[in-house]
C-alpha cells in the first residue's frame, strides 16, 4: 500500500537551549503531520488551536477536519492536543502504556482533589479524564504501512509512528527527537520524564530511520546515513 506523509505545521520550542535562548521567547507547539494510507487519514499531534490548525490543514492538504479519520497523540501532554476537539468525528489514538499511566495519575489526583474539597481542580480533572476515556489504545499496526513505534522517556508511554518503505524508513518521532540541533548533538529535552530512557529512544530512532519528522522541526534526513 502507498503511504504519503504531509507536514501540516512545523513546531517550535518556546526557548531553544541549543541556540542559547533562555526564558520563553515564542509560543511552543509541536509539529503536526498527516499520514495518508489507504482510506485512513491520520493526523499526528493537533498542537495548534483549532481555528489555526483548520487553516493549516486546508493549506497543506486540502482536507477539512471531518475528513480526518484518526488522530494520533504521541503523548497526553496538553501541548500536543490543543486542537483535538476539532476532530470530534475521528478516532482518537494513544499508546496503551501512555493511556494507563496517565489514567492512574488522573484518578489519584481526582481523589486528592475530592478530599481537599477543591471543586475547580475536580472539574478540570473530570474534563481530562473524559478526554482520556475517549482515546483508544493504538494497536501495533494502525494501518498497513503505519506502525506504532514506542519511544518512552519524554513520558512513560511516549510513542511515534514508523512508516517503512521498500527503499527508506521514516519515523514521526515528535519530541523524542525535538530539533535537528538536538539530533546532531545527541541530546533530548531537559524536562523529560526519564532522561536516560529518552536518550535510548533517540538513539533507536537514529539507528532505524532514514528520515525523521522532529517534534519541533520539519523533515530531517538522518545525518548518519550516507546519501
Give the residue-averaged pLDDT of 123-133.
96
Q: Are 16 and 181 in contact (CB under 8 A)?
A: yes
Is the pLDDT confidence value at 1 over 80? no
pLDDT for the residue 107 = 94
Copy the grid coordinates of residue 10: 512545523
Is 80 domain-assigned?
Answer: yes
Position 157 scores a pLDDT of 98
| Predicted local distance difference test score (pLDDT) of residue 226 | 61
For 71-120, the pLDDT digits (tens) are 999 999 999 999 999 999 999 999 999 999 999 999 999 999 999 999 99
> Is 175 inside a domain boundary?
yes
**Residue numbers of the domain that contains 109:** 3-218
- Give me the long-range contacts of 140-147 (CB less than 8 A, separation at least 24): 142/40, 142/42, 142/70, 142/72, 142/93, 143/1, 143/35, 143/37, 143/38, 143/40, 143/42, 144/1, 144/37, 144/38, 145/1, 145/2, 145/3, 145/37, 146/3, 146/35, 146/37, 146/40, 146/42
Reading the block at residue 74, the C-alpha cell is 504521541
* Residue 200: band (very low, low, confident or very high) from pLDDT cuts 50, 70, 90: very high
**Residues of the chain above pLDDT 70, percent:** 99
pLDDT band at 181 (very low <50, low <70, confident <90, very high): very high
Q: Is 188 within the bounds of a domain?
A: yes
Confidence of residue 166 (pLDDT cuts 50, 70, 90): confident
Beta bridge partners of 164: 169
pLDDT range class, residue 50, cuts 50, 70, 90: very high
- Residue 227, Cα to own-chain centre: how many angstroms? 28
Domain harbouring 141, CATH code: 3.60.15.10
Whether residue 227 is contained in a domain is answered as no
- pLDDT reading at 227 higher than 60: no
**pLDDT computed for residue 190 by the predictor:** 93
Grid cell 497526553 — which residue? 76
Flag whether 223 is in a domain. no
Domain count, the chain: 1
* Predicted confidence (pLDDT) at residue 201 exceeds the cutoff of 90: yes
Q: Is the pLDDT of residue 4 over 80?
A: yes
Residue 187, all three cell numbers: 541530546
Where does 26-90 show beta strands of DSSP type E? 32-37, 40-44, 70-72
Confidence bin at 224 (pLDDT 50/70/90): confident
Average pLDDT, stretch 128-149? 97
Q: Average pLDDT for residues 2-15, to the nearest whole number?
A: 95
What grid cell was written down for 175?
Answer: 519530541
* Within a domain: 167: yes
What pLDDT is recorded for position 165?
A: 85
Residue 3 backbone phi and psi in degrees, to 5: -125, 130
Rounded Cα–Cα distance for residues 125 and 163 (Å): 34
Output the average pLDDT for the chain: 95
Q: What is the mean pLDDT of residues 133-149?
A: 96
Whether 226 is covered by a domain: the verdict is no
pTM for this one?
A: 0.95
Residue 114 covered by a domain:
yes
Question: What confidence tier does 23 reach under pLDDT thresholds 50, 70, 90?
Answer: confident
Amino acid at each position: 500500500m502507498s503511504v504519503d506523509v504531509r507536514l501540516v505545521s512545523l513546531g517550535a520550542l518556546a526557548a531553544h537551549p541549543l541556540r542559547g535562548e533562555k526564558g520563553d521567547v515564542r509560543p511552543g507547539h509541536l509539529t503536526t503531520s498527516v499520514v495518508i494510507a489507504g482510506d485512513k487519514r491520520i493526523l499526528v499531534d493537533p498542537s495548534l488551536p483549532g481555528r489555526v490548525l483548520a487553516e493549516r490543514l486546508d493549506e497543506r492538504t486540502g482536507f477539512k477536519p471531518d475528513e480526518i479519520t484518526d488522530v494520533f497523540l504521541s503523548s497526553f501532554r496538553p501541548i500536543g492536543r490543543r486542537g483535538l476537539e476539532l476532530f470530534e468525528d475521528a478516532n482518537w489514538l494513544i499508546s496503551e502504556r501512555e493511556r494507563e499511566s496517565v489514567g492512574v495519575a488522573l484518578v489519584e489526583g481526582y481523589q486528592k482533589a475530592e478530599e481537599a474539597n477543591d471543586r475547580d481542580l475536580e472539574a478540570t480533572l473530570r474534563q481530562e479524564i473524559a478526554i482520556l476515556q475517549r482515546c483508544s489504545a493504538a494497536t501495533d499496526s494502525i494501518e498497513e504501512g503505519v506502525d506504532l513505534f514506542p519511544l518512552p522517556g519524554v513520558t512513560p508511554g511516549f510513542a511515534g509512528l514508523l512508516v517503512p518503505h521498500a527503499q527508506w524508513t521514516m519515523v514521526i518521532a515528535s519530541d523524542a527527537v525535538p530539533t535537528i540541533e538536538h539530533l546532531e548533538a545527541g541530546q533530548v529535552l531537559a524536562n523529560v520524564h526519564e532522561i536516560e530512557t529518552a536518550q535510548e529512544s533517540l538513539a533507536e530512532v537514529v539507528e532505524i530511520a532514514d528520515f525523521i519528522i522532529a517534534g519541533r522541526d520539519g523533515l530531517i534526513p538522518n545525518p548518519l546515513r550516507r546519501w
